Amino acid sequence: MNSLGTRIRKLRKERKLTLEELAGDRLTKGMLSQIENDKAKPSMESLDFIAERLGVKASELLEQVTPSSLRQLLEQAEILFTELKLGDTDNAQKIVEMIKPYIEELPLSYEGGRLLYIYAAAQYYAGLTTWESPLQESRIMFKGINLLSHWFETYILQLGILSENRKYKMAYSCILQAKEEAEQENYPLDSRDAGKMAYYICVFQVAIGELEAGKQLINETITNAHKNQFYSYIDDMYRIGAFCAMIDHDFEQVEYMLKKLEQYRIFVEQVDVDAFIFGLRAHYYNSYTHDYQQALEEIERFGTLMHEDSIKLDKNFYYSEKGKSLYLLGQYEEAKEAFEHFTNVPPFILHPFDILSLNECFSYKALCYAHFGELTTAYEIAKMAYLDSQDLIDLPYKQKIEETYFSIKAQINSVQ
């Protein structure tokens, strides 16, 4: 951290003042030089004089981090943080190194809380395991200055981190902790944050298998969203609601959720929502109604959006359901060609419903390779899908994944 002398010299040069000009008629050039080089300490009277000449308060010169330097640091950190991409560990580390020298001296302020938040997130993205402590400090700081939306954002970041590591039960406990604290402290959360909280609660309820409670809360949250005209996350709630209805084989409810999602699409005119609908319908027809030709038509509608610049239009969504449709239609050559482009579950896919449905598609990819006698490749694909699904909740997809793995494993053993 900068010393008092260094801060005085820095401000003097920023003001384009010489030593003589800053010293004026109260200090000598030599004394001021000693102060700037930390070889002498100014009296409070001299410090007040220097501060007045520099246009700041004496208290700012004494602070390890001045408000102006703190704002400048936050501006720089925000720029880098906004540009940070998934997996960009080098730039995440740069943010960590930028903020680290100031961490111990951050004041109780918005800037201090925000820098702690960015520091925690950057630590996680850089692959460090020390992110939780600064995130907790950020949460306490925002609570202390009554910035409750920012307080809640620290929980949302933690939920994302826990989800990436598939710690769904811990994430559920985390959001319940936020809800309990808000209720006990009587926090005046606005309708947006209240809607977000309900959204995350129902998302993690269904993620850990509390499907009935999750479905009920989804319906209540959708109703409240329309009542309060708060529509963030509502497309995802319709999508998860449709997933739950598929699992229950409540096809009337599936159609209702899809219809509501289509109405929302007309309202927002977003490509991502179009993709939600086409991909979800393709999955519905492939896995539940077994109308494979209709599924293929829906996924091709998804394919027409692939030129759009959106992370949610990852090619894996397109080729997974396309390959599955073609395989189930008996068009094995075309299916294999499509499956060759289906290589992974996108890293931003965090919910068990999505992970399991994509792993089911990997099982069909394995069956496709087995059809052509490529048993070793088929086995590796089936094994990957099987192992990746083991710790997730029991949904119908797991049965297909397990059957495929053990079937191909048996074929491998029979020819050895």
DSSP secondary structure string, 190-216?
-HHHHHHHHHHHHHHHHHTT-HHHHHH
pLDDT digits over 141-154, tens only?
999 999 999 999 99
Place of tokens 């059957």: 403
Q: Is the pLDDT of residue 313 over 80?
A: no
Token reading at 398: 């797991």
Query: Mutual orientation of helices 148-164 and 191-207 as an angle, nearest 10°?
Result: 20
Is residue 234 very low, low, confident or very high in pLDDT (cuts 50, 70, 90)?
confident
Is residue 401 very low, low, confident or very high in pLDDT (cuts 50, 70, 90)?
very high
pLDDT digits over 83-134, tens only?
998 889 999 999 999 999 888 878 889 999 999 999 999 999 999 999 999 9
Count other C-beta atoms under 10 Å from residue 16's C-beta. Answer: 7
Place of tokens 């030599």: 30
In the prediction, which pLDDT does 233 show? 85
In the prediction, which pLDDT does 308 show? 64
Higher pLDDT, 81 or 232: 81
Round to whole Å and give the CA distance between 139 and 114: 10
Which of 225, 164, 166 is closest to 197 using CA atoms? 225
Cβ atoms of 119 and 95 within 8 Å: the answer is yes
Tell me the average pLDDT across 219-234. Answer: 83
Higher pLDDT, 228 or 127: 127
- Residues of the chain with pLDDT > 90: what percent? 71
pLDDT digits over 43-74, tens only?
888 888 998 999 988 877 776 666 777 899 99
Answer whether 0.75 is exceeded by the pTM: yes
In the prediction, which pLDDT does 180 show? 95
pLDDT digits over 255-312, tens only?
999 999 888 888 777 777 888 899 999 999 999 999 999 999 999 999 988 776 655 6
